[in-house]
Copies of this chain bind each other. A is one copy, B any other.
Amino acid sequence: MESILPLLEAAQKAANSVRSLPDADKQALLRDLAVRLEADNALIIAENKKDLDQMPDSDPKKDRLLLNAARIQALADSLRDIAALPDPAGQTLSEKRLDNGLLVRKQSVPLGVVGVIYESRPNVTVDVAALCIRSGNACVLRGGTDAFHTNACLVGIIKAALQKAGVNPDAVQLLPTDRALIAELLTAVRYVDIIIPRGSQQLIDYVRANSRVPVIETGAGVCHTYVEKTADLEKAGRIVTNAKVSRPSVCNALDTVLVDRSVAGAFLPLLAPSLAAYNVEIFADTEAYDILAGASYPLLQHAQPDDFGREFLDFKCSVKVVGGADEALDHIRRYSSKHSEAIVSNDAALSERFLNEVDAAAVYVNASTRFTDGGVFGLGAEIGISTQKLHARGPFALEKLVTEKWVVYGDGQVR
């Protein structure tokens, strides 16, 4: 294919047919799609096998690519959950009548055309299409080459459901995976309203550096937990351990422990056995190293400068002893990726200061950073955790797939 612009323009034209679909019809469409996924189970698995067969067994992405009956059922269940969420579009946000008689209403409307660039996981295809349909948006999906047969099969089923509901099937477009065409997508400001990269930091960095279409950045989480001198140290140990080990591969997992000097000698030996039980490798600054070495911590390294501000995504963390809240706050300001940050403290005033001063999407007192999640926060399925500040911050979910529009009713008014 020489250009994807015709596909993008077709999506833009079709956006109107999904935007104008009544709310109940959008819900019915998603429920019908759930039934279709269940019914076409065998077809999906067969197409998925074509992709799996081309991937070596040694490839760590193979599990993410796999669709089986249970995973297809989970996708269908997720469609029914999304159908049950309230439509974020069509809400009146403000309304007033001006002295000259003009009625000025601000309302929420679908964004238009949502572009998503992602990697091997074919469930993203169904989740994104469903969230976009629910909120009245068209979408253009650029999945990974690895999953092309699976994605083509899924999008075929989605298009059939759109057609059945009387929606222009161009409202969900699967883009070819030719790498040269990504540049066209990233500069298609006339046709695409927002681009969301989902995947590796490398992908996100590439999109941010090259996109002229506005980007929602769902980036890395370099997350700190600060154990302050008034902390309940038993509680701090449980919070730090949970934040590190409960699911180390995700963005809200702990990367760095900061601990006040006055309690480091008591806290770190108390923490050591919990982390050692999960074979957590610790990169410690000199003071922490000496305390942990004294406690015979088995997997101990001297921290290098780049072990601070590092997202480990593994059973690894860095530890630093600080002189108090000012130093902790300064460290976080310097190294945080502005995702999730926590303090463990019994000093209410200091905790408030931490919550106010730390610049992150989610800030915690006396809890694990692992709670940063659209489902936990009551927003439903999320597309990612936004670490930027415009439009959406924290879990990026259905409620943010809208923009605003000023609608003005007059009777001949001029200025």
Contacts and interface: CB of A to CB of B under 8 A. Distances in A.
Interface of A: 12-13, 16, 19-20, 96, 98, 102, 104, 106, 111-112, 193-194, 208-209, 212, 214-216, 232, 235, 238-239, 241-243, 246, 333, 355-357, 359-368, 370-372, 376-378, 388-394, 403-415
Judged by DSSP, the binding face of A is mixed
Contacts of A232: 412
Contacts of A408: 362-365, 367, 371
Nearest to A393: B404
Contacts of A243: 414
A243 B414 CA distance: 8
B415 A403 contact: no
Given A212-B209, A366-B409, A356 B20 contact: yes
A101 to B, nearest CB: 9
For the complex of A and B, the 8 pairs showing the least CB-CB separation, nearest first, are A367-B410, A242-B414, A389-B403, A390-B391, A362-B406, A370-B415, A235-B412, A391-B391
A296 to B, nearest CB: 26
A363 B241 CA distance: 54
Given A12-B333, A235-B412, A356-B19, A98 B366 contact: no
A405 B214 contact: no
Contacts of A193: 389
A238 B96 CA distance: 24
Contacts of A367: 102, 408-414
A29 to B, nearest CB: 19
A359 B112 contact: yes
A214 B390 contact: yes
